Amino acid sequence: MTTELPRTGSIGLLEAVSPHVPDEFITELCSRGKTGGRRYDLDAAQLWRVHLLAVLSSSHSLNLVITQLREQPAWRQFCRLRRFLPGTRMLHEFRQQVGVSGLRQINQHLVSRLVSRQGVQANAVALMDATDLPASSDGFKKKKPVPIPLPMPRWGGARSRPDKAVGL
C-alpha cells in the first residue's frame, strides 16, 4: 500500500483532500443569520476551502491565491465556486466572524475524524519515528571557527604619538 500524496498544488492533491473537508460541519459552525437584505454570495465552507488552498498550493499568500483563482479552474472546482469569486475583504470578514476558537473547532473536528480510537487500545498514542528518514544536515554542521593568527602583536609595532600631551 502506497501512502504518498500527489505533488503540492496539483489537481490530484486537491481531489484527494476534497472528500475529507467537513463542509456541513463548517457551515453549521459558521452559520450566518438573516441580514434582512442582500444574501451572502459564498458560504463558510467555500471560504474555508479558499483558505485551505493557501496551504495546499505553492502560493502561500491569500492575495496570490485570490488572483490565481481566475486562472485555475481546478482550484475553483475544489472550492466549489461557480459564479462568484471571493475577495480579500470577504476572507477577512470570514476569519473575523469565525475567530480563533472556530478555527480550532474545525481543526479538532478534522483531527477527531483522522485519529479515531477504537477497540481494545482506546488510550493508545502514536509517535512518529523518524529514524529511517535521511538527515538533511549532511555535512553542514556548524564547526568551531579557527582563530586567524595576527602577523604581529596588536600593539607591538605601533608608534607612540609624541604630539599628544600626557597628563594635562
| CA 74, 80, 82, 84 torsion-angle sign | negative
Cα gap 132→134, rounded to integer Å: 6
pLDDT one-digit tens code per residue, 18-76? 888 888 998 888 876 655 555 667 888 899 999 999 888 888 789 999 999 989 898 89
Q: Is the pLDDT of residue 94 over 80?
A: yes
Distances (CA, A) of 16 to 6, 8, 83: 8, 11, 24
**Average pLDDT over the chain, rounded to whole?**
77
More confident residue, 78 or 168: 78
Cα gap 105→112, rounded to integer Å: 10
Model-wide pTM > 0.75: no
The three-state secondary structure class of 13 is: helix
Cα gap 32→142, rounded to integer Å: 54
More confident residue, 145 or 131: 145
Cα gap 59→47, rounded to integer Å: 17
**Arithmetic mean of pLDDT, 96-116:** 84
Cα gap 109→131, rounded to integer Å: 30
pLDDT range class, residue 120, cuts 50, 70, 90: low
